[in-house]
Amino acid sequence: MNVIETKEILYEYPDGTKALEDVNFKAESGKIIALLGPNGAGKSTLFLHFNGILEPSSGEVLVNGRPISYDKKELMKVRQEVGIVFQNPDDQLFAPTVMEDVAFGPMNIGLSKEKVESRVKEALKRVGMEGFEKKPPHHLSGGQKKRVTIAGILAMKPKIMVLDEPTSGLDPRGASQIMRLLYELNEEGMTIIISTHDVDLVPLYASTVYIISHGNIIKEGSPQTVFSDVETIRNANLRLPRIAHLMEILNKEDHVSFGKPYPLTIGEARRKIREQAKD
């Protein structure tokens, strides 16, 4: 079942910029789906359609099989179902303290004080930010801010979480902490949709990849399928994952092959190299 689906959506910003053209995107329940594309490709614009922040100029967006209705009450419901974590935490965090920030969503849907408190506690624990309740968000590091924004969404208990470039600007450790958390949430049944231009990250986590370029989806499939189409990847101003690039060079320049498709991760490459070394 597709929890989110866009049908031929087109979006034009008020200044006339066509940011999306005939985009068909599907997110299957329980999966981790990656939207891969260079800067300006339309990733953020597409994501803002998933919970009705933007309404397509034409085409439609379905959540759980139903077209989004753009009246206020229905949008509230959609936003409980689909949580969006913006790329820049400063666009999301606004309350004077971490606690008030995370509490805002649950309070807004009218939960009791006790329920709000327990949701805030649980969410901050989940992202490893207990003890920061009274801190002003602007005193936190980039990675901590990101985790608080994720807590704010988790506190709403959405079934679908959409994260716009969740690892951008984070150091390697911060990035892998976030990805590990997303992986765990997914294991527990949450559908996760991320955008990124980090090609090395995609094969580690995503089961389905969409490539977006100039507002068009130009390729979709498993990481293996998508990264086999080297020409499309490079035409979209992206590159192969480093490991696959190394395998391509070994194959083409040195005539050393570990078989095709090229491994995309260290784990896959290690397995193939060991197998071959044994022969």
Ligand X SMILES: Nc1ncnc2c1ncn2[C@@H]1O[C@H](COP(=O)(O)OP(=O)(O)O)[C@@H](O)[C@H]1O
User: Of the candidates 6, 44, 149, 191, which one interacts with Mg ion according to CB under 5 A?
Assistant: 44
Nearest distance in Å: CB 125, ligand X: 31
Cis ω for the linkage preceding 106 (within 30 of 0): no
Cα–Cα nearest to 262, from 254, 272, 277: 272
Strands 82-85 and 66-67: unpaired
Nearest distance in Å: CB 37, Mg ion: 9
Q: Which is nearer to Mg ion, 32 or 35 (CB)?
A: 35
Q: Which is nearer to ligand X, 37 or 152 (CB)?
A: 37
Cα–Cα nearest to 83, from 174, 149, 177, 181: 149
Nearest distance in Å: CB 176, Mg ion: 21
Nearest distance in Å: CB 33, ligand X: 16
Q: Is 213 near Mg ion (CB under 5 A)?
A: no
Return d(Cα 274, Cα 192) in angstroms, integer.
33
Q: Which residues bind ligand X (CB under 6 A)?
A: 13, 15, 17, 19, 37, 39-45
Report the chain's terminal Cα–Cα distance, integer Å: 44
Strands 216-221 and 208-213: antiparallel
Q: Which residue is nearest to Mg ion (CB)?
A: 44
Q: Which is nearer to ligand X, 37 or 166 (CB)?
A: 37
Tell me the β-bridge partners of 212: 217
Nearest distance in Å: CB 10, ligand X: 12
Q: Which is nearer to ligand X, 41 or 123 (CB)?
A: 41
Question: Which of the choices ligand X, Mg ion, none does residue 30 contact, using the CB cut-off of 5 to 8 A by kind?
Answer: none
Q: Is 167 near Mg ion (CB under 5 A)?
A: no
Quickly tell me which residue has 């998933």 as its tokens.
50
Nearest distance in Å: CB 44, Mg ion: 3
Do 203 and 172 form a contact (C-beta atoms < 8 A)?
A: no
Question: Which of the choices Mg ion, ligand X, none does residue 206 contact, using the CB cut-off of 5 to 8 A by kind?
Answer: none
Burial of residue 77, with CB atoms counted within 10 A of its CB: 0-12 exposed, 13-18 middle, 19 or more buried = middle
Interface contacts to Mg ion, rule CB under 5 A: 43-44
